[in-house]
A and B are shown apart, each in its own frame.
Chain A
Amino acid sequence: MRNLTTLLFAAGLGFLLLVLAAGLPYGHPPMLVGQGILQQAPATTGAANIVTSVVLAYRGLDTLGELSILFAAAAGAGLVLGGHRRRRRPDPDGGFILIAGADLMFPLLLVVGLYVILHGHLTPGGGFQGGVILAAAFFLPLLGRPREALDHTAISWIEGLAGAAFIAIGLWALFARGDFLAPMLGKGVLGQLFSAGTLPLLYAAVGLKVGAELSGLLADLAATEARDP
């Protein structure tokens, strides 16, 4: 009975949402703010990737918020996992193929991750995507050799300082130009690696923070004893 009610409710809600969706102007979105940003973004921020100028310049505070959401989620998961038993015996080694594969992939993933972070203002990608690749790079060796745990103190410091660096760049702009998170250091030449002022620095902070947070979270999960079913 309960299942049936739930199903009916979900179906009703789905129908309502479909009716709403039918009234939307598909293909002709009102480009009020969008048009304005498209017109002036490259000239204002100097970033070839317009998504990056929206994420880090026009809506930089939102990105700080997203970064903090990730931080809060990782801290919350750490609090929940902190109460579970630690594993007495780590898993055995992952075998030759996994270990050799991890050794091969580690430098590759590191390079790709850093590339994606550092070119965030030029090509698709950026701190969030590159940070996830970095976290994968550090987690893969942990799968191969579960005995060698990651250094939690170092991770906590990288995480804290990277987040602090993002805010510090914002505060620098506040004291130098009077606007929190305003782009600094000039615009440079559009399309060059060294362009778009502080935006690449902000993305580097985002990338390090995301990478440290996710690898810390994965290491926490790997070190926690599963509850008996």
Chain B
Amino acid sequence: MNAVVLAVALPLLGAFLTPSLARLSLPLGRLFGPGLLAFCLWLLWGIARALGDATAGVALGGFAPPLGIAFHLDRLALLFALAVPAMVLALWPWGGRPREWSLTLVLAAAATGLALSGDLFNLYVFYELLAVASYGLIAANQRPAAQAAALRYLLLSAAGSALALLGIALVYTQTGTLNLAQLALLAPVSLDGPLGLAAFALLLLGIGVKAEAFPVNTWVPEVYATAPSRLAGLLAGLVSKLAVLVIVRLLLVVFQRPEATQLMLVLGVLGIAWGELAAWRARDLSRQLAWSSVGQLGIVFVAFSLPGETGVLAGLAVALHHLLVKPALFLLARHWNGALEGLRGAARRAPLAGALFALFALSLVGVPPLPGFWAKFVTLSGLFAQPGPLCSLAAVVILTATLVEAAYLFRTLTLLFGPGGEEPRMAPHGALDLGTATAFAGLLLAGVIWLQPLTGDLHGIARQAVDMDTYVDTDLPTPRP
């Protein structure tokens, strides 16, 4: 189990060496990173198979957890840890410069660390590492619009990091520990007051910058519209989900109180309304997809705010669906940039790309039998089962947002498949982009066929994730008084 740390250390090793290796031989530098990621994927798969339904704690450096850093391995952590190298490999920037490969490897290492870590400050370090790597990747694009978007993202994200750090400092002054399992033991007493709630709000806002949470998501449309499509897919698909995972872990392990879940629910509802309405008004495809991503992340927030196993199950379903669909949509939309009106008939000239786009768009809206329907259905039935006006309001907002989503996506599809359009001035889709999108579509359709076993697995993951006694016993074998 201790070998799991290789999944963080090896991509970093690759990142440090890639620029020098690329000076020696470009093909070597080009293949080094993907090779390491493939090894990490294999390693994590083996660990996940060996672990099965059990959980395990890894004490880094051999220092027992409350004093040292702990990694917490359970099915939820390993699911996302496995998703990281897989997604980064699928969206690897083959055409980039050596420094971009380096930064992508740093991104992968940080994301894996976020999935596995069981220490509050260690989570912050990996979060900051993820942030700094993404600044560099976004700013690598030299167009002025991209640089302006990168600067706005940098400022907002740096402010978010400062807020999150303040939240961690509050937690530490109240409890004197940073280990999540020990915090779980101490929180009911030490973090009960308004200071504890303030700490959660600060962490939620700070980490919410990457998770596209409501008030701190103004960077989203410009960055996604100007970044290369593979990077946009990586940020919208993978990075936002890992930020959500961190927030959910904190919510489940440390801040188990109704005010915290309500805060998350309210932010989620506002995010849905804001994102879907902005997407409806958007005049080009990249911005439409970017705002729709904000709306979808809002649904993820609402789903995870449901109590207990239902919440984790619904949140996982929406998050994993979006993880698969949004990067593929960005890959397809790359060649259809510019105003929406200019896309008249574009799908007729690229039938495969058009068909894939339609499939992903339909799943995003939630048309049965595609997995998107099931994800929204689980969330909505969970919301209606809850008492209280806030949950009913959230359900109504999600239903209305689905209508809005359907309206603008069908409008886009009508334009794409409709008649008209001048000469085909757009370049055809690259074989690599199209191939990646087809693979994602295959996974989506596999989700339709194996929905039953998939649901069973997600149930198991959710049951394990909400079991706090096991979490504490795994990371703190001998709880200190």
Main secondary structure of the interface of A (DSSP, over half): helix
Q: Is B59 an interface residue (CB 8 A)?
A: yes
B175 contacts A178, CB within 8 Å? no
How long is the Cα–Cα vector from A76 to B9 in the complex, in angstroms?
20
For A25, A65, A167, which residue has the most chain B Cβ atoms within 10 angstroms? A65
A180 contacts B2, CB within 8 Å? yes
A174 contacts B2, CB within 8 Å? yes
A60 contacts B61, CB within 8 Å? yes
Min C-beta distance of B462 to chain A, whole Å: 28
Chain B residues with CB under 8 Å of A65's CB are 110, 113, 122, 125-126, 128-129
A57 contacts B61, CB within 8 Å? yes
Min C-beta distance of B291 to chain A, whole Å: 24
How long is the Cα–Cα vector from A167 to B106 in the complex, in angstroms?
14
Q: Is A69 an interface residue (CB 8 A)?
A: yes
Given contacts A68-B15, A160-B20, A180-B2, whether A34 and B68 have CB atoms under 8 Å apart is: no
A174 contacts B3, CB within 8 Å? yes
Given contacts A79-B100, A177-B62, whether A164 and B16 have CB atoms under 8 Å apart is: yes
How long is the Cα–Cα vector from A58 to B61 in the complex, in angstroms?
7
Q: Is B142 an interface residue (CB 8 A)?
A: yes
Given contacts A60-B60, A62-B122, A180-B2, whether A76 and B23 have CB atoms under 8 Å apart is: no
Q: Which of A59, A72, A157 contacts B106 (CB 8 A)?
A: A72
Q: Is B103 an interface residue (CB 8 A)?
A: yes
User: Which one of B79-87, B131-139, B321-329, B428-436 is at the interface?
Assistant: B131-139
How long is the Cα–Cα vector from A157 to B97 in the complex, in angstroms?
17
How long is the Cα–Cα vector from A174 to B173 in the complex, in angstroms?
33
A32 contacts B121, CB within 8 Å? no
How long is the Cα–Cα vector from A185 to B58 in the complex, in angstroms?
22
Q: Which residue of A lies closest to B106 (CB)?
A: A72
Chain B residues with CB under 8 Å of A161's CB are 17, 20
How long is the Cα–Cα vector from A73 to B173 in the complex, in angstroms?
30
Min C-beta distance of B58 to chain A, whole Å: 9
B177 contacts A32, CB within 8 Å? yes
B60 contacts A61, CB within 8 Å? yes
B19 contacts A73, CB within 8 Å? no
Contact bitstring B402-435, A, C-beta under 8 A = 1, else 0: 0000000000000000000000000000000000
In chain A, residues 160-196, which have Cβ atoms closer than 8 Å to a Cβ of chain B? Answer: 160-161, 163-164, 167-168, 170-171, 173-174, 177-183
Q: Which residue of B lies closest to A34 (CB)?
A: B176
Given contacts A160-B16, A163-B16, A167-B9, whether A69 and B129 have CB atoms under 8 Å apart is: yes
B103 contacts A72, CB within 8 Å? yes
Chain B residues with CB under 8 Å of A60's CB are 60-61
Contact bitstring B2-15, A, C-beta under 8 A = 1, else 0: 11011011001101
Chain A residues with CB under 8 Å of B102's CB are 71, 75
Q: Is B223 an interface residue (CB 8 A)?
A: no
Contact bitstring B33-76, A, C-beta under 8 A = 1, else 0: 00000000000000000000000000111110011110000000
A80 contacts B176, CB within 8 Å? no
In chain A, residues 75-89, which have Cβ atoms closer than 8 Å to a Cβ of chain B? Answer: 75-80, 82-83
Min C-beta distance of B354 to chain A, whole Å: 35
Min C-beta distance of A127 to chain B, whole Å: 15
A182 contacts B129, CB within 8 Å? no
Q: Is A66 an interface residue (CB 8 A)?
A: yes
In chain A, residues 8-54, which have Cβ atoms closer than 8 Å to a Cβ of chain B? Answer: 16-17, 20, 23-25, 29-34, 36-37, 40, 44
Q: Which of B23, B66, B100 contacts A36 (CB 8 A)?
A: B66
Task: Give residues in B with beta carbon < 8 Å to A.
Answer: 2-3, 5-6, 8-9, 12-13, 15-17, 19-20, 23, 59-63, 66-69, 97, 99-100, 102-103, 106, 109-110, 113, 121-122, 125-126, 128-129, 132-133, 135-137, 139-140, 142, 147, 166, 170, 173-179, 182, 190, 193-195, 198, 480
7 examples of A-B residue contacts, CB within 8 angstroms = A23-B193, A58-B63, A76-B135, A76-B139, A77-B136, A80-B136, A156-B23
Task: Give residues in A with beta carbon < 8 Å to B.
Answer: 16-17, 20, 23-25, 29-34, 36-37, 40, 44, 57-62, 64-66, 68-69, 71-73, 75-80, 82-83, 153, 156-157, 159-161, 163-164, 167-168, 170-171, 173-174, 177-183
- If A59-B68, A179-B59 are given as contacts, then 18 extra A-B residue pairs at C-beta distance below 8 Å, sorted by A number, are A23-B193, A32-B66, A58-B63, A59-B122, A61-B8, A61-B60, A65-B128, A68-B110, A72-B106, A73-B135, A76-B136, A76-B137, A163-B13, A164-B13, A170-B9, A178-B62, A180-B60, A181-B61
